[in-house]
Amino acid sequence: MRICTVKSAANNDFFEQVYAVVRLIPHGRVTSYGAIAKYLGAARSSRMVGWAMNASHSLPDVPAHRVVNRQGLLTGKMHFSTPFEMQERLKQEGVEVVNDQVQDFEHKFWDPQRELEL
């Protein structure tokens, strides 16, 4: 049965794929919108990934806080219940965040293309 009442079925599928990848992000790791888009074969549709995150509010098993932009900046923190939730949740997982910037980003970064498809 359909959980979402989305007009476009194809779009619904895209969202599902995004969520599937996000759910696979390991505890204490982060990835970027672009990396997810690229992994799904839509490298230039990173904006849609962000849109999918926006729609993932009601999905508790989708760790949207582990998705940041390519620089490791918490650009989406404003969309959480509080601007600090994203940073706090990352902090709890051992991801240091200073001034919206994920510290040691290169090391924390989790690339689905590289980590999954081996």
Partner DNA sequence: CCTATGACGCGTG
Partner DNA sequence: CCACGCGCCATAG
| 113 lies in the site for DNA, by CB under 7 A | no
Residue 78 gets which letter from DSSP? Answer: G
- Cβ(105)–Cβ(111) under 8 Å? no
Among 2, 3, 5, 8, binds DNA (CB under 7 A): 8
Cα distances from 58 to residues 12, 16, 19, 24, 37, in angstroms, run 15, 13, 12, 18, 21
CB of 72 to DNA, least distance (A): 9
Best CA proximity match to 52, nearest among 36, 71, 72: 36
- Interface with DNA in residues 63-102 (CB under 7 A): 64-65, 67, 69-71, 75-76, 78-80, 86
Residues at the interface with DNA (CB under 7 A)? 6-8, 10-11, 32-35, 37, 42, 44-51, 53-54, 56-57, 64-65, 67, 69-71, 75-76, 78-80, 86
